[in-house]
Amino acid sequence: MLRLLQEFHRGKNYGETPNRVVVHQVVTWTIADHFADRPTDVPLPDGWDPAANDPNDDALEGHDLRRLFAPLPEGTRRVLEHRYLLGFEIEDIAEQLARRSIEVR
C-alpha cells in the first residue's frame, strides 16, 4: 500500500484502469521485488512436524472466553457465547434473538 500511495503522491495516473486492478498489480510488483533475490526452494528444518502443537497455544490458553464473559449480563453473555464459543453466524444469532431462543436482558 505504501508503494501505491507513493506512486499516487508522485502524480502517477493509471487512466481508465479500475482501482482494484491497479492495487493488484502494484501488490504483485512489490511482492516480486521483495522475493527477487531470495531462494524459493529452501528445505524445511529437520524434525519439523506440521502436526505438532503450536507453541502459541500456551499463550492463548490463558484467555478463557467463558471466564471473560462471566461478569457480563446473561443475555449479552449468551450472545457472545453463541458467536465466539459455538461458532454461530451473526445472522443465525439474530434469527434466534427474533424467535427469543436467546433472550437479552
Which of 43-47, 59-63, 70-74, 88-92 shows the lowest per-residue confidence on average (mean pLDDT)?
Answer: 59-63
Chain centroid to CA 11: how far? 33
Predicted confidence at residue 71, as pLDDT, reads 92
Question: Does residue 84 lie in a domain region?
Answer: yes
Question: Does residue 46 lie in a domain region?
Answer: no
Question: Does residue 43 lie in a domain region?
Answer: no
Range(s) of the domain holding residue 81: 63-98
Chain centroid to CA 65: how far? 18
Number of domains making up the chain = 2
Contacts of 88 (CB under 8 A, 6+ apart): 82, 96
Question: Does residue 19 lie in a domain region?
Answer: yes
Average predicted confidence (pLDDT) for the chain: 81
User: Scanning the structure block, which residue is given the C-alpha cell 506440521?
Assistant: 50
Question: Does residue 49 lie in a domain region?
Answer: no
pTM of the model: 0.40
Predicted confidence at residue 59, as pLDDT, reads 66
pLDDT tens, 5-33? 887 788 887 778 777 788 888 888 888 88
